[in-house]
């Protein structure tokens, strides 16, 4: 538990210089309390609960069972049965590509990153199969400058507003074809190979658009994982985060040979005017 709290404090401290500047404070005088008081924390993870999208669970949907209870004269202890890719979760590269990094290999420095948001939700409203394009990225850069290296790029589609309904998230038509937005190869190539971003995240169940992933094929995610980057899936509240200026903190349990795990993810947003 202490290691997770330390991670949170480091994340808050990462915004210290910026907050000190905008508030004319001397860095040495800025405490954790000052930073929290001058920031808004935005929850980016869904609550884990039975009945929500089950992830790759096969015929055994995730369960949360009481193992011990206060009525036993002991303590409340739950037993959890779920796949690593359940709810808001982290996918390390080894999830799809053998031999690449697992959860333990991802350094703490990659779990606290500047957050930028590319907003395509209006286009998704018109076309649920929409894939982000370089035009979308260039529009963002036209306002904010080049996508900085070492950042976390989140794709806002507002698809999370369909959660926790599996049917609405999958959005299958009468022929069983899933329709949901996704990333594109051209944007992945640009962000990773040219701009050297550290990680990406999205509100949907998959990196690939639904018409591909819904059929049990994940070529884009396989390609992205092969670039040795991690991602966060099933995010929420990206509509509450500015397109630039926030810091994202992505945390998960430190498990042996971890190929994925539910994640607690939040954004630290300085309480200053942000231009979207």
In a domain, 263, yes or no: yes
As a residue count, the chain comes to 276
* pLDDT tens digit sequence for 177-213: 999 999 999 999 999 999 999 999 999 999 999 999 9
The reply to whether 77 falls in a domain is no
DSSP letter at 178 equals: B
CA end-to-end distance (rounded Å), the chain:
35
| pLDDT value, residue 35 | 73
Q: Is residue 19 part of a domain?
A: no
* Domain presence at residue 6: no
Centroid of chain to Cα 211: 21
pLDDT of residue 37: 80
Given a cut of 90, whether residue 57 has pLDDT beyond it is no
Instruction: State the total domains in the chain.
Output: 1
- Sign of torsion over alpha carbons 229, 230, 235, 241: negative
Name residues whose C-beta falls within 8 Å of residue 244's C-beta, 6 or more positions apart in sequence.
116, 117, 144, 274, 275
pLDDT tens column, 218-242: 999 999 999 999 999 999 999 999 9
Percent of the chain scoring above 70 in pLDDT: 87
> Tokens for 163?
């959660």
Tokens of 192: 């990773």
Within a 10 A sphere around the Cβ of 176, how many other Cβ atoms?
9
- Of 273, 274, 268, 276, whose CA–CA distance to 36 is shortest? 268
* pLDDT above 70 for 8: no
Over residues 247-258, the pLDDT tens digits come to 999 999 999 999
Q: Is residue 252 part of a domain?
A: yes
For residue 193, what is the domain's CATH number? 3.50.30.50
- pTM (2 decimals)? 0.89
Of 110, 115, 135, the closest CA to residue 123 belongs to: 135
Distance CA 153, CA 4 (A): 23
Question: Rounded to the nearest 5°, which phi and psi values hold at 65?
Answer: -120, 145
- Residues 95, 227: Cα–Cα separation, whole Å: 12
Residue 202's nearest CA partner among 214, 188, 189 is 188
19 band by pLDDT with thresholds 50, 70 and 90: very low
Q: Which residues contact 196 (CB under 8 A, 6 or more apart)?
A: 149, 150
211 within domain boundaries: yes
Q: Is residue 213 situated within a structural domain?
A: yes
Tell whether the model's pLDDT for residue 275 goes beyond 50.
no
Which tokens in the block code for residue 82? 């779920």
Nearest to 151, CA basis, from 188, 105, 200: 200
Q: Which domain holds residue 174?
A: 40-46+87-270
Q: Per the domain annotation, does 157 fall within a domain?
A: yes
């Amino acid at each position: 538990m202490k290691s997770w709290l330390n991670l949170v404090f480091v994340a808050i401290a990462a915004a210290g210089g910026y907050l000190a500047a905008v508030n004319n404070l001397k860095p040495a005088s800025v405490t954790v309390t000052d930073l929290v008081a001058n920031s808004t924390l935005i929850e980016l993870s869904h609550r884990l609960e039975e009945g929500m999208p089950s992830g790759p669970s096969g015929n055994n949907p995730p369960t949360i069972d009481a193992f011990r209870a206060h009525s036993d004269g002991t303590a409340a202890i739950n037993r959890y049965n779920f796949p690593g890719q359940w709810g808001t979760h982290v996918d390390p590269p080894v999830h799809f590509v053998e031999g690449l990094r697992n959860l333990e290999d991802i350094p703490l420095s990659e779990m606290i990153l500047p957050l930028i948001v590319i907003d395509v939700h209006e286009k998704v409203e018109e076309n649920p199969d929409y894939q982000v394009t370089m035009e979308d990225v260039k529009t963002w850069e036209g306002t904010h400058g080049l996508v900085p290296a070492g950042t976390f790029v989140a794709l806002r589609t507002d698809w999370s507003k369909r959660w926790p309904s599996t049917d609405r998230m999958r959005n299958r038509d009468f022929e069983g074809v899933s329709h949901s937005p996704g990333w594109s190869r051209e944007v992945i190539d640009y962000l990773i190979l040219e701009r050297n971003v550290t990680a990406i995240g999205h509100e949907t169940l998959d990196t690939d658009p639904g018409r591909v992933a819904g059929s049990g094929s994940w070529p884009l995610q396989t390609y992205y994982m092969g670039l040795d980057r991690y991602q966060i899936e099933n995010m929420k509240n990206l509509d509450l985060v500015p397109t630039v200026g926030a810091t994202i903190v992505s945390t998960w349990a430190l498990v042996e040979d971890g190929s994925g795990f539910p994640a607690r993810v939040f954004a630290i947003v300085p309480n200053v005017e942000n231009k979207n």
